[in-house]
Each structure stands twice: as structure tokens, then as C-alpha cells.
């Protein structure tokens, strides 16, 4: 696939990307390297995997990471109940060795996302979401899969990938990832979008929202992110929620009153809401009631 082909396929989706992101995705795809995406929460990291799956016409296999995730949840597990049942049924069978061998065959293997992604006949997009939430042991366990696209199951042996999945790992940097993992990946950092990109996202995702209102929302969100006193900066998802809420309430202009009513959609903690209220008060005091958002 060429760069232009990837571009035209991404254009078919509703994802707003820039040239740098396009190049990075192309490089990772061409080299067959896993792509590690870092950035603040809600900037669209997970969405990249969904969009790539759509653009490449592949299935998306998702592994959501959390504390305590282990290989039985991520890679495979033996179907113990079925194995026990077979033992009970075949109790009188003389060929014990054959029975033991059959118990550790594909029939009793429960595939989890990682195994599923490498045993798939068609290449898939594998999303390993929020890898920073998983333990360090799990991170180390992933290394074999990421560098060799193979996994080792003690009872069966090494399983090599039938097709190479396009692996995307995301991280919110809740903890630093190991050098070994980083070394195996291509890297991309997603920042909060600038004004133009934010507006483009609003237009693409919420085409029914009035253009003027969308511009006002985008500008207001940019200002909120630039305000140092705001602790939890609004993400793209919150921008979209806010615009949708304003639209649902039939508000056509972002006045101080409208902001006050709907601020909970864009700011998610009390300190930030108080900061916004204080700033609005100061602003209104300064312009003596002439302001309109």
C-alpha cells in the first residue's frame, strides 16, 4: 500500500488526521512494527485503531488492559470443565497417553484476544488498550508477541502468526513503559488538537450543529485548555459532548448563560467549574454586560 492509498482510505472514514499522523501510520504499517500511541486521555488514541481497522478492511481485536491482567485473560486458557468431563467419560479407556495428549489439543483451548489475533486466517488490527494500566510482568510477556509475532504455550509449543496483525498499543502515561517495549514499537504522540483541527472534528462528527456554534465551542475549549488554573483539560470527546448538548438544548449561541448551564459536559470536576465561574464573573465585570460568550 502506498501513502496515497492509505490517505484515500482514511479519507473515507470520519477521522480527522494530519499529515504527520498519516506518515506515522504508513511507516508503522509498512515496517510491520507495533505502534505505541501516547497522549492525554480523550485525544483519540483508541479511535486510531478503530479507524485503521475500517480503512484496512480488517477485524479489530481489542484487549483492554487493567491491573492484574494475566495470560489466561489475554492469551489462552484451557477449558478445564470440558477436560474434566472428558476424563470422566473416558475413565475406562486404556490408552492413557493418547487421552492426556488429546486433552491439550485445540479442542480444549480457549482463545483470548492475543492468540485470536495471530491465529486469524485474515490479518486483523490488534488494539492493546491502556497498556500502562497492566502490570510490568504482562508488559514483559508481550515482548515475544511484539518482536517475533509468536507466542509460546508450554503444553503445545510455539505458535507462529498465520498472518501479521497491525498492533496498536495505547498509553496515558500513568506509569512509564519499559525500554524493551518501547524499542520494539514505532512511536506516536497525540496532542490536544489546535483550533482548526478541533473545528474540523466538530464539523465531521456533528455535521448538524450550526457552524457558528461549533466555532464558538471550539474557541471556548481552546481557551479552557490554555487556562492554567483548569486542572483536568477538556478532551475531544468532551468537546463533542458539549456541542451535542448545546445543540440538543436548542442553543444557537454560546452565551455566558449557556456556558453556565452546560459547563458540566466539558469540565468534569468541581474545582474547574468554580474556576470557570470565577473567570466568567471577572470577564463580565470587565465588559460591563456587553459580552455575548
Partner 1 sequence: MADTEVYLEKLSAFARILRMEGLSVSPRDTEDAAAILTRLGFEDRETVKTALMTVYAKSREEQLKFSSAFDGFFLSEEAIRAQARQRAEQERQRQEQMEQAGEELEQIGERVRLDEQERQSYRELPQEARQKLQDFLNRYKGNVDRSPQLYSEFIHSVFAKTMMEQQMLLENAGVGAEELDPELGLLCRDIGAFRDSEIPKAIALIQNVARQINGELSAKRRGQGSSGKLDFRRTIRGSLSSGGSLHRLYFRKPRTRKRKLVILCDVSGSMVQFSEFALRFIQSLNQVAESSRTFLFSETIVEADPFQLQNMDRFRDTVRASGIYGRGTDLGLALRHLCDTRPPVLNQNTTLLILSDTKTVDTARALLWLQEAKRQSGKLLWLNPIPERNWKYIKSVGAVQSIVPMIPCSTLGELAAACRRL
- Minimum CB distance to partner 1 smaller for 175 or for 204: 175
Any contact of residue 89 with partner 1 (CB under 8 A)?
no
d(CA 74, CA 76): 6
Are the CB atoms for 229 and 269 separated by under 8 Å?
no
110 near partner 1, rule: CB under 8 A: no
C-alpha pair distances (Å), 105 with each of 79, 95, 98, 102, 167? 10, 16, 11, 5, 27
**Which residue in this structure is represented by grid cell 474434566?**
84
Dihedrals phi, psi of 166, to nearest 5 degrees: -90, 110
- Decide if residue 30 touches partner 1 (CB under 8 A): yes
Is residue 183 part of the contact set for partner 1 (CB under 8 A)? Answer: yes
Cross-strand partners of 190? 39
# residues contacting partner 1 (CB under 8 A):
37
Contact region with partner 1 (CB under 8 A), list: 28-36, 122-130, 149-157, 212-220: 28-36
Please say which residue, 215 or 277, places its beta carbon nearer to partner 1.
277
Cβ of residue 25: shortest distance to partner 1, in angstroms? Answer: 9
Query: What is the side-by-side strand order in the sheet with 60-64?
Result: 60-64, 125-129, 166-171, 35-39, 186-190
Residue 103 or residue 221: which is nearer to partner 1 going by CB? 103
Is 185 an interacting residue with respect to partner 1 (CB under 8 A)?
Answer: yes
Report the alpha-carbon distance of residue 215 to residue 219 in Å, rounded.
6
Cα–Cα dist 128/142, whole Å: 10
Q: Residue 39: left if φ>0, alpha if ψ -120 to 50, beta else—which one?
A: left
Among 73, 116, 119, 189, binds partner 1 (CB under 8 A): 189
> What is the three-class DSSP state of 169?
strand
Q: Which of 27, 41, 161, 244 binds partner 1 (CB under 8 A)?
A: 27
DSSP letter for 208, please: T
CA 192 to chain centre: 15
State which residue, 122 or 150, has the beta carbon closest to partner 1.
Answer: 150
Q: Which of residues 111-150 bind partner 1 (CB under 8 A)?
A: 132, 135-137
Q: Which is nearer to partner 1, 5 or 253 (CB)?
A: 5
Binding positions for partner 1, rule: CB under 8 A: 2-3, 19-20, 23-24, 26-28, 30-31, 33, 36, 38, 67, 80-81, 84, 132, 135-137, 173-176, 179, 182-183, 185-189, 228-229, 231
Amino acid at each position: 500500500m502506498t501513502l496515497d492509498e492509505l490517505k484515500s482510505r482514511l479519507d473515507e472514514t470520519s477521522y480527522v488526521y494530519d499529515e504527520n499522523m498519516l506518515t506515522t501510520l504508513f511507516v508503522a504499517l509498512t515496517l510491520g512494527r507495533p505502534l505505541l500511541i501516547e497522549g492525554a486521555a480523550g485525544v483519540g488514541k483508541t479511535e486510531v485503531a478503530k479507524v485503521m481497522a475500517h480503512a484496512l478492511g480488517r477485524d479489530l481485536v481489542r484487549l483492554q488492559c487493567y491491573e492484574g491482567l494475566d495470560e489466561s485473560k489475554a492469551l489462552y486458557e484451557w477449558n478445564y470443565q470440558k477436560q474434566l468431563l472428558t476424563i470422566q467419560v473416558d475413565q475406562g479407556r486404556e490408552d492413557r497417553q493418547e487421552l492426556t495428549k488429546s486433552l491439550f489439543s485445540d479442542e480444549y483451548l480457549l482463545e483470548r484476544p492475543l492468540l485470536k489475533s495471530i491465529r486469524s486466517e485474515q490479518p486483523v488490527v490488534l488494539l492493546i488498550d491502556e497498556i500502562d494500566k497492566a502490570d510490568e510482568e504482562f508488559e514483559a510477556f508481550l515482548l515475544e508477541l511484539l518482536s517475533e509475532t509468536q507466542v509460546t504455550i508450554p503444553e503445545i509449543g510455539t505458535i507462529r502468526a498465520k498472518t501479521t496483525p497491525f498492533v496498536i498499543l495505547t498509553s496515558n502515561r500513568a506509569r512509564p513503559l519499559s525500554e524493551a517495549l518501547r524499542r520494539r514499537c514505532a512511536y506516536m504522540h497525540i496532542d490536544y488538537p489546535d483550533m482548526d483541527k478541533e473545528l474540523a472534528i466538530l464539523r465531521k462528527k456533528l455535521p448538524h450543529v450550526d457552524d457558528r456554534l461549533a466555532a464558538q465551542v471550539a474557541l471556548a475549549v481552546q481557551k479552557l485548555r490554555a487556562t492554567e488554573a483548569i486542572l483536568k483539560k477538556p478532551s475531544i470527546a468532551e468537546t463533542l459532548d458539549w456541542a451535542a448538548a448545546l445543540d440538543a438544548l436548542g442553543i444557537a449561541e454560546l452565551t455566558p448563560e449557556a456556558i453556565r448551564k452546560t459547563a458540566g459536559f466539558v469540565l468534569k470536576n468541581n474545582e474547574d467549574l468554580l474556576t470557570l465561574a470565577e473567570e466568567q464573573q471577572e470577564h463580565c465585570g470587565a465588559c460591563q454586560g456587553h459580552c455575548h460568550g
